[in-house]
Copies of this chain bind each other. A is one copy, B any other.
Amino acid sequence: MRTSADYLESLRDGRVTYFEGRRVPDPTAEPLLAQAAQVVAAGYDQWYDPGANARNPLMTAPADEADLRARVPMLLASDFALDLSYQALMALSTAGAALSGVPGPWVERIKAYVEAAQQADDRVAVCVTDAKGDRSLPPGGQPDPDAYVRVVERRDDGVVIRGAKLHISGGSFAHDLLVMPTKAMKPGEEDYSVCAAVPVNAPGVSIVNTTFAPRHEDARTFPYSSRHHIPDGFVVFDDVFVPDERVFLDGQSRYAAVFAHNLGMWQRLGSLAFMAADADRMVGFAQLIAEANGLARVQHVTEKISELMIHATMVRAGLEAAIANCETTADGVCFPSELYTNAAKYHAAANAPMMTRHIHDIAGGSLVTAPSVADLENPEIGPAVRKYMTTGERADGEYRLRLFHALRDLTADAYGAWRLVTNMQGGGGLYAQRIVTRKHFDMAAAKDAALRYVGLEPPV
């Protein structure tokens, strides 16, 4: 397995990354990006095992319900790059199972790649969303044919791809980019039916980074996001050659959706696990700020906290049901119920804004106007800030002030908004999640139960 030092060194491989108009010579040294490298490096330390055949358990597939259940706390304790690599490898594994019997070398290549990535302890960033151009037109009907990533040349030993992939979390800090079609393709869209693993430093790959990292010089004002941030990448593939062994589908439009479909499932499981833990934490924060404000016994406040509790419990119920109703592929990969995973992810994301409103309602205006820790340290005005932020025995001024900062960071500034948007959009927006629910809900059984309940014969 890789050490953290190996990892940091591995990022200095000539990769082409940009940030706010400038080429970034070394992503581990760029102020607003470098923390991501440190977080991923710490993840390597966390799981390191010197054994020759040692593997990070989160790089391997769960075999049964207990195994799947055990993954949840491991995922929550992991850095984002490991989380994403897990999603990538699990998606490839279950996609491989789904492609069993399909003509072509795909299944073998997938197995070999997954095995190699596990061995090398690589971090793999998933690339799904295309630029899409005019979304009212299909890939093959776009004014610019590159609006969706496509094969522009087929050589003896590989393919050349062109296009862009958007919202690529941590792309600049991964080793490979797992490119897959963003949607189902139709006959005639063979060139768009490509799945491949591209090294981040492959010639022709460029990444434009954006970040929600706080720019405030005092990290104490953003206690979470100053330590945990991750850039999103706008990844450009400018005629990038990919050798055959890294191509997992090419030209069979019928199977184009298999990869994104499987990835969506693992992404939504990851989102759901995060949102379940997060919803519990938000109950905790609501109670903490209510207590710090002296409002914990005020009924309209306890009612709002009750709604947060019910929300958190329902999200967790979805996660529990998804695991309790897991299934297993022919080659032994255990995966969560798609119906429960998807419905609960929808429920969590759709209701998150109202739950955030409750937090804001309970916290009050100081959520966005609390002075800084530096003000507290100023010898002239600091004592007054402390005095007036204190609420009796329940909370001293500094603790309460820091609690407001934490809540602003998580719910009322760049990171909080990024989280709300990406939790909703991850694995497809709300509409996409409704489509997935429709696909997995047993409508025939529901119709039959309805008719039997009232003694009606089904229509012929």
Question: Which of B317, B374, B393, B450 meets A281, CB within 8 Å?
Answer: B450
Across the interface, which residues of B come within 8 angstroms of A25, CB to CB? none
- Write out the residue numbers on chain B whose beta carbons fall within 8 Å of the beta carbon of A420: 360, 412
B417 x A294 contact (CB < 8 A): no
Residue of A143, A293, A320, A438 with most chain B CB atoms under a 10 A cut-off: A320
A232 CA to B408 CA in the complex, in Å?
Answer: 15
Secondary structure dominating the interface of A:
helix
**A381 contacts which of B206, B302, B305 (Cβ < 8 Å)?**
B206
Is B216 a contact partner of A144 (Cβ separation < 8 A)? no
What sequence of 0s and 1s flags, for each residue 216-253 of chain A, a beta carbon within 8 Å of any chain B beta carbon?
A: 10100001100100001010101000000000000000
Chain B residue at smallest Cβ distance from A222 = B454
Question: Residues of B contacting A346 with CB < 8 Å?
Answer: 310
CB under 8 Å from chain B, chain A span 372-400: 372, 374-375, 377-378, 380-381, 384-385, 387-396, 399
CA distance A215 to B226 in the complex (A): 14
Q: Using A284-B451, A421-B412 as known contacts, say yes or no to A392 and B21 having CB atoms under 8 A apart.
A: no
Q: Closest CB-CB distance, A179 to chain B, in whole Å? A: 14
Binds B, one of A42-50, A98-106, A128-136: A128-136
Other-chain contact of A418, B146, B238, B368 (Cβ < 8 Å): B368
Complex Cα spacing A259 to B453, Å: 33
With contacts A306-B437, A381-B18 known, is A320 near B314, CB below 8 A? no
* Nearest chain B CB to A232 CB, angstrom units: 4
Given contacts A167-B369, A406-B454, A424-B357, A299 and B297 within 8 Å (CB-CB): no
Q: Which residues of B contact A206 (CB under 8 A)?
A: 380-381, 384
Contact flags (1/0) for A394-416 with B, using CB distance below 8 Å?
Answer: 11100100110010111111101
Tell me the minimal C-beta distance from A272 to chain B in angstroms: 11
Residue of B nearest to A400 (CB): B459
Q: Does A343 contact B (CB under 8 A)?
A: yes
Q: Is A52 interfacial (CB-CB < 8 Å)?
A: no
Return A318 CB to nearest CB of chain B, in Å: 5
Q: Is A329 an interface residue (CB 8 A)?
A: no
Q: Is A212 in the interface zone, CB < 8 Å from B?
A: yes
Whether the Cβ atoms of A448 and B380 lie closer than 8 Å is no
Contact A136 B298 (CB under 8 A): yes
A295 touching B135, Cβ below 8 Å: yes
Shortest C-beta distance, A306 to chain B (Å), equals: 4
